Amino acid sequence: MSDNPRKDLLDVLEAISEAQLRTIRKLRGPQASTAAEGEQPLERMSHIDMVQNILSSVRRPLHISDILELVSKQFGVDLDRESVVSALAKRVARKDRFARTAPNTFALLPER
């Protein structure tokens, strides 16, 4: 602890306030982007969520190559093909959101 308790108290109060503000922005969701320019968006999408977003927008089965291309165009992210196929295959096996309609071709399961 420094010799200036006032400065220490202000540092603690500032850290608490910043944490509270981050929590409030996170609770608001994706529409509440960042307050300061240049900051990263608070809401990030997983790779699987990106794939789900693509498949729900095209509303038809897509080959993994097409999925990866659309993810790259829409989200600016280059996904690893093997990782995405592996993650999708696990979801297909669990009947979680995705179905395999042909080799390396995936679609969304109909909503229940």
| Residue 29 DSSP label | -
Same domain (yes/no): 38, 2: yes
pLDDT for the residue numbered 71: 94
pLDDT for the residue numbered 100: 96
Same domain (yes/no): 21, 66: no
Same domain (yes/no): 39, 63: no
Residue 2 has pLDDT above 70, yes or no: no
Tokens standing for residue 65: 């190559």
Domain span at 57: 47-108
Which ranges of the chain does DSSP label H, i.e. alpha helix?
5-28, 47-58, 64-75, 81-93
What is the dihedral sign for C-alpha 30, 53, 75, 79?
Answer: positive
Same domain (yes/no): 95, 54: yes
What is the reported pTM? 0.61
**Total number of domains in the chain:** 2
- How crowded is residue 101: how many other Cβ atoms within 10 Å of its Cβ? 14
Of residues 17 and 69, the one with the higher pLDDT is 69
Asked if 81 and 51 count as a contact pair (C-beta separation under 8 A), the reply is no
Same domain (yes/no): 37, 62: no
